[in-house]
């Protein structure tokens, strides 16, 4: 029986346009809680209070969102890239990565050394914010300073408008340019590797389907089953960091 690590490495070595797709299972290995897992955000807060409509439509919604953000952002900010992030950055250095499509908002792919141009963020980036009225950009660190100083609902210093993080809230449309580019890259890929995603959050979870239907070889690395397991050409039910590090170590001897 073929070793799955060796098979995955050989697929990546031979690929012309390998694409990776990462989810919360990569972030959790850096200590960032998954929203849906026990102990995650939805165990402590009602998700109905954190929708896009509630945020843009009511001061109470913005106050609740920033209350959650003030508590959760420091945990994300102190997180460090793990073995999966570092391995994916190494794939880029080995010229074995067309792009990384990610559902994660923690900026850890970039901090691991993956160029900004190689990362397609379907759900935004939590380290950035902007005014919805005038478009003025702010770093999330700057906004955190306002919250820590006692501000409950950040307003834009430039125009007084609503400040919102660069993350996609429930009920908010996904960013069209990123979504369209991710779909294009998925369809153009010849090897599509899912790492640490349960593939249940749509429309992001359509990406492996786009790749598979266009003829790509589908590899899924995830601890728990996914709805796409039956379509996968290779399943590796294990931790993202361990698997990706092992794949890259094997790959170095092939390229």
Let me know if 92 is a catalytic residue.
no
Q: Is the peptide bond before 79 cis (omega within 30 degrees of 0)?
A: no
Q: Give me the phi and psi of 234, to 5 degrees please.
A: -150, 125
pLDDT digits (tens, 9 = 90+) for 240-254: 999 999 999 999 999
pLDDT of residue 50: 81
Per-residue confidence (pLDDT) for residue 255, from 0 to 100: 82
Distance CA 84, CA 81 (A): 8
Q: Are 18 and 217 in contact (CB under 8 A)?
A: no
For residue 39, the model assigns a pLDDT of: 53
Average of pLDDT values for 62-87? 94
What domains are there in the chain, each with its CATH number? 1-32+81-123+175-255 (3.40.50.1220), 33-78+125-167 (3.30.1600.10)
Mean pLDDT of the chain: 93
The overall pTM is greater than 0.85: yes
| Per-residue confidence (pLDDT) for residue 1, from 0 to 100 | 42
User: Is residue 7 over pLDDT 50?
Assistant: yes
Sheet holding 191-195, edge to edge: 119-121, 99-102, 18-22, 191-195, 217-221, 234-236
Half-sphere exposure in the Cβ direction for 194 (13 Å, CA)? 38
Question: In what side-by-side order are the strands of the sheet with 124-131?
Answer: 137-139, 124-131, 163-167
Q: Is the pLDDT of residue 199 over 70?
A: yes
pLDDT at 42 over 70: no
Q: What are residue 128's DSSP bridge partners?
A: 139
Angle (deg, nearest 10), helices 59-78 and 140-148: 110
**Catalytic one among 54, 92, 109, 123?**
123
Residue 14, CA distances (Å) to 7, 21, 65, 190, 249 in order: 11, 18, 46, 10, 16
DSSP conformation class of 116: G
Kindly report which listed range (18-22, 135-139, 200-204, 221-225) carries the lowest average pLDDT score.
Answer: 200-204
């Amino acid at each position: 029986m073929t070793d799955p690590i060796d098979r995955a490495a050989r697929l990546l070595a031979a690929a012309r346009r390998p694409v990776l797709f990462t989810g919360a299972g990569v972030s959790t290995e850096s200590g960032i809680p998954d929203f849906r897992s026990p102990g995650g955000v939805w165990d402590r807060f009602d998700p109905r209070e954190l929708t896009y409509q509630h945020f843009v439509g009511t001061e109470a919604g913005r106050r609740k969102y920033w209350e959650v953000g003030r508590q959760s952002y420091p945990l994300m900010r102190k997180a460090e890239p793990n073995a999966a992030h570092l391995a994916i950055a190494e794939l880029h250095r080995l010229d074995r990565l067309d792009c990384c499509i990610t559902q994660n908002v923690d900026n850890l792919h970039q901090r691991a050394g993956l160029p900004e141009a190689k990362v397609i963020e379907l759900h935004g980036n939590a380290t950035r914010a902007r005014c919805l009225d005038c478009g003025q950009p702010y770093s999330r660190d700057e906004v955190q300073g306002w919250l820590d100083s006692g501000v409950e609902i950040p307003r834009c210093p430039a125009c007084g408008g609503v400040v919102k993080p660069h993350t996609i809230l429930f009920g908010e449309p996904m960013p069209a340019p990123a979504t369209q580019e991710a779909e294009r890259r998925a369809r153009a890929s010849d090897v599509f590797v899912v790492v640490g995603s349960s593939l249940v959050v749509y429309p992001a979870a359509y990406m492996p389907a786009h790749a598979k239907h266009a003829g790509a070889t589908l590899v899924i690395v995830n601890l728990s089953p996914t709805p796409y397991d039956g379509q996968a050409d290779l399943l590796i039910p294990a931790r993202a960091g361990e698997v990706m590090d092992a794949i890259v170590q094997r790959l170095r001897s092939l390229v």
